[in-house]
Amino acid sequence: MSTPSLRERDARVIAEIGRLRFSPLSLVGGRGNRLIEEGGREVLDLSGSAGPAALGYGHPAMVEAVERAVRDMAGASLLLYPNEPAVSLAERLLAVTPGSGERRVWFGHSGSDANDCTVRVLAAVTGRSRFISFIGSYHGNLSGSMGISGHTAMTHTLPRPGVLLLPYPDPFRPKFSAEDVLALLDYQFETTCPPDQVAAVFIEPLMSDGGLIVPPHGFLKALQDRCRRHGIKIVVDEVKVGLARSGRMHCFEHEGLEPDLVVFGKGLGGGLPLSAVVGPAEIMDHAPAFALQTTAGNPVATAAGGAVLKTIEREGLVERSARIGKLFSDGLRALAEKHEIIGDVRGRGLAVGVDLVADRGTRDPVPATTTAKIIYRGYQLGAAFTYVGLKANVLEFMPPLTLTDDEAAEGVAIVDRAIEDVLAGKVADADVASFMMW
């Protein structure tokens, strides 16, 4: 009998529900900006593991910080005792996040628990129970964060009662313009959604899982102004696109937002489970509303967070993300000249999406199988990436912020070849059937 592969062993023991894998890639290691699959082949990682791998894999700063924190471990629970890495990280996060007055930081394990906690504390502090968010938005997969999400992958769960889901204006498929959405909000405020019942609006400054949609300039600011007028708090979910990913430290800076609360996750932990909420003390110091999670803010995860923030500064990763992101997306944009299937290349910094269309005139999305085949072929050719979008037609690129010029060029060449090969029929439906998701 032959030894079972990692993939076969995985299929026997790991729950299948909610696994987003679009290729047979199974990992035994990672080095730099490359993932190492069983058998030892190295694959260029253009996915960043969906965002967390901000510094790639095995970055010396991460190794050093995590090793030190675990070797001389300052307890395992911030609930019981303050620990040095958590307090230092909170100080650092406050220093890099704009805001005034007394502010506090809450730590969790994931973007989901951070948004959950934010919903709960805002309802408790404001005494208001309604929230506004967007169709297509993804804020997490725990009950509170699912309840304010508007992704089609969430339709198995009912939204939180009182949530108002607005369309997110999409410049590429402008079903609703920014003006339409604001007019709808005004009408809701006048009629069935009295603004004094609304605690907060949850904003993705760049809609990620909903299709990597960059909002029309000025829309979010206008939304913020309308909400502020009614005492509605502005929550910006920077989980996926924050901390240098967008070519600015915070993605909300591109639109000049002034959030009351900012939610961090994914890249903050550099791959370790870590999330944070930054907000005013009068909101955050509300102990009864907060989920007490024993290991949240533990010294190992927060030491990793400290290493991420220090490395962003030391290696100039904000500027690098802007520069390499432009190089990479310009490369992809050039591919649009030969591949009709590329309808749009968009994003900010190293958060890049390629919108695949069946027809450039109508901009109808390609079927999900086409997207999956390109991802599958990309894997065969040596690069890992995934997809997003309510119609699963947008290739998502969230590579490590440490991606080099050469790797960006290598990535573009692989995407080029993968598209060419798929259009030439080199991947069969059966090849991707078992990897399809939403």
DSSP 235: E
Q: Identify which of residues 331 and 347 has a Cβ nearer to ligand PLP in the complex.
A: 347
Q: Identify which of residues 247 and 269 has a Cβ nearer to ligand PLP in the complex.
A: 269
Helical axes 84-96 vs 299-314, angle rounded to 10°: 40
Edge to edge, what strands does the sheet with 342-348 contain?
A: 342-348, 351-356, 394-397, 386-388
Q: Identify which of residues 46 and 427 has a Cβ nearer to ligand PLP in the complex.
A: 46
Q: 372 Cβ partners below 8 Å, 6+ apart?
A: 22, 387, 392, 432, 435, 436
238: left (phi over 0), alpha (psi -120 to 50) or beta: alpha
The answer to whether 387 is a known catalytic residue is no
Q: Give the C-alpha separation, 292 to 272, whole Å.
A: 19
What residue number has its CB nearest to ligand PLP? 111
Instruction: Give the nearest distance from C-beta 410 to ligand PLP in angstroms.
Output: 26
Is residue 204 within the footprint of ligand PLP (CB under 6 A)? yes
CB of 89 closer than 8 Å to CB of 302: yes
Q: Identify which of residues 195 and 389 has a Cβ nearer to ligand PLP in the complex.
A: 389
* Sole window of 139-147, 211-219, 225-233, 291-299 interacting with ligand PLP (rule: CB under 6 A): 139-147
Instruction: Give the nearest distance from C-beta 110 to ligand PLP in angstroms.
Output: 3
Residues numbered 92 to 131 that lie near ligand PLP (CB under 6 A) are 110-112, 115
| Ordered DSSP codes for 248-293 | SSSGGGGGT---SEEEE-GGGGBTBS-EEEEEEHHHH--GGGSPP-
Q: Would you state the structure tokens that stand for residue 133, as one six-digit string? A: 């968010």
Instruction: Give the nearest distance from C-beta 120 to ligand PLP in angstroms.
Output: 15
Is residue 169 within the footprint of ligand PLP (CB under 6 A)? no
Q: Give the C-alpha separation, 30 to 106, whole Å.
A: 30
Catalytic pick from 138, 168, 376, 379?
Answer: 138
Of 132, 123, 92, 154, the residue nearest 310 (C-alpha): 92
Residues numbered 213 to 272 that lie near ligand PLP (CB under 6 A) are 237, 239-240, 265-266
Instruction: Give the nearest distance from C-beta 325 to ligand PLP in angstroms.
Output: 17
Residues in contact with ligand PLP, counted by CB under 6 A, come to a total of 16
Give the number of other CB atoms < 10 A from CB of residue 213.
26
Instruction: Give the nearest distance from C-beta 269 to ligand PLP in angstroms.
Output: 9
Instruction: Give the nearest distance from C-beta 180 to ligand PLP in angstroms.
Output: 23
Q: Give the C-alpha separation, 176 to 170, whole Å.
A: 7
Instruction: Give the nearest distance from C-beta 141 to ligand PLP in angstroms.
Output: 6
Q: Identify which of residues 74 and 200 has a Cβ nearer to ligand PLP in the complex.
A: 200
**Residue selected from 208, 224, 298, 302 as contacting ligand PLP according to rule CB under 6 A:** 208
164 alpha-carbon distance from chain centroid: 22
Q: Identify which of residues 254 and 266 has a Cβ nearer to ligand PLP in the complex.
A: 266
Strand partners, 198: 130
Of 277, 317, 295, 342, the residue nearest 104 (C-alpha): 277
* Sole window of 133-141, 160-168, 169-177, 321-329 interacting with ligand PLP (rule: CB under 6 A): 133-141
Instruction: Give the nearest distance from C-beta 202 to ligand PLP in angstroms.
Output: 9
**Residue selected from 139, 245, 250, 254 as contacting ligand PLP according to rule CB under 6 A:** 139
The CA distances from residue 38 to 35, 129, 246, 354, in Å, are 10, 49, 32, 29
* Sole window of 153-161, 204-212, 227-235, 393-401 interacting with ligand PLP (rule: CB under 6 A): 204-212
Is residue 140 within the footprint of ligand PLP (CB under 6 A)? yes
Report how far apart the first and last C-alpha atoms of the chain are (Å, whole number).
Answer: 36
**CA dihedral (363, 364, 370, 375) positive or negative:** positive
Q: Identify which of residues 151 and 373 has a Cβ nearer to ligand PLP in the complex.
A: 151
Q: Identify which of residues 384 and 414 has a Cβ nearer to ligand PLP in the complex.
A: 384
215 alpha-carbon distance from chain centroid: 16
Q: Which residues are catalytic?
A: 138
Q: Please give the residue ranges that form the binding site for ligand PLP (CB under 6 A).
A: 110-112, 115, 138-141, 204, 208-209, 237, 239-240, 265-266
